[in-house]
Amino acid sequence: MSDDVIKDEDIIIRNYRTSDYQATLEILKELNKLFDIGFNENQWRESSGLRQFKPNRKRITLIAELKSGKVVSMGVIEAQKNTLGQYIGYLDNWATKKGYIGRGVGKLLADRAIQILQSWGCDSIRINLAYKTDEKLLDVFSKTGFHPIITVLEKRF
């Protein structure tokens, strides 16, 4: 496998399909191993229907797929009105398969996600990152206009 940057014409950005289950499961397991995102395979399986496009919901799971059919990246986008009346878009569960990190796949996926969230009328977009996120990743996001604004604390049960 080459370490070359993957170009827009080499990848398809599309909605999640049920046939993507295994590929997305593997990607999230890799991410959980690195950052302990609280991933639970049983919950992922049970919530499978939430990942598919529904016209009455502002949530989509986007898939980045090589022309060969291999799924290499994924991310969930969602838009919600908050208690202040702002319409906030979220990029969540963003993950790229090992071997494709740093090759531009995540940027292609994020660019498409931002287009969709803007078309939904979002006032702003937030990205949920692991607490111990690599500084390089924060630098990448800051170059595209994203800046830290809140810290979220979580208690697991």
| CB contact at 8 A, 66 and 87 | no
- Per-residue b or e along 51-74, where b marks 16 or more CB atoms closer than 10 Å to that residue's CB: beeeeeebbbbbbbbeeeeebbbb
Tens digits of per-residue pLDDT, 84-130?
A: 999 999 998 888 998 998 899 988 999 999 999 999 999 999 998 77
Report, in angstroms and rounded to the nearest whole number, the Rg of the chain calculated over CA atoms. Answer: 15
Using CA atoms, how far apart are residues 89 and 74, in angstroms rounded to an integer? Answer: 16
**What's the angle, vertex CA 35, arms to CA 136 and CA 19, rounded to 5?**
105
How far, CA to CA in Å, does 99 sit from each of 45, 72, 85, 87? Answer: 25, 9, 41, 35
Beta-strand relationship, 87-96 and 59-66:
unpaired
| Helix ranges restricted to H, 15-157 | 21-35, 41-46, 105-119, 135-143
pLDDT band at residue 53 using 50, 70 and 90 as cut-offs? low
Query: How would residue 150 be classed by pLDDT, with cut points 50, 70 and 90?
Result: confident
What's the rounded Cα separation, in Å, for the pair 113 and 73?
13
Strands (E), 16-110: 59-66, 71-81, 87-96
The answer on pLDDT for 133 being more than 70 is yes
Q: Which CATH superfamily is domain 8-126 in?
A: Gcn5-related N-acetyltransferase (GNAT) (3.40.630.30)
**For residue 126, what pLDDT is reported?**
95
Lowest mean pLDDT among 7-11, 59-63, 148-152: 148-152
Q: In angstroms, rounded to a whole number, what is the distance separating the alpha carbons of residues 105 and 73?
A: 7
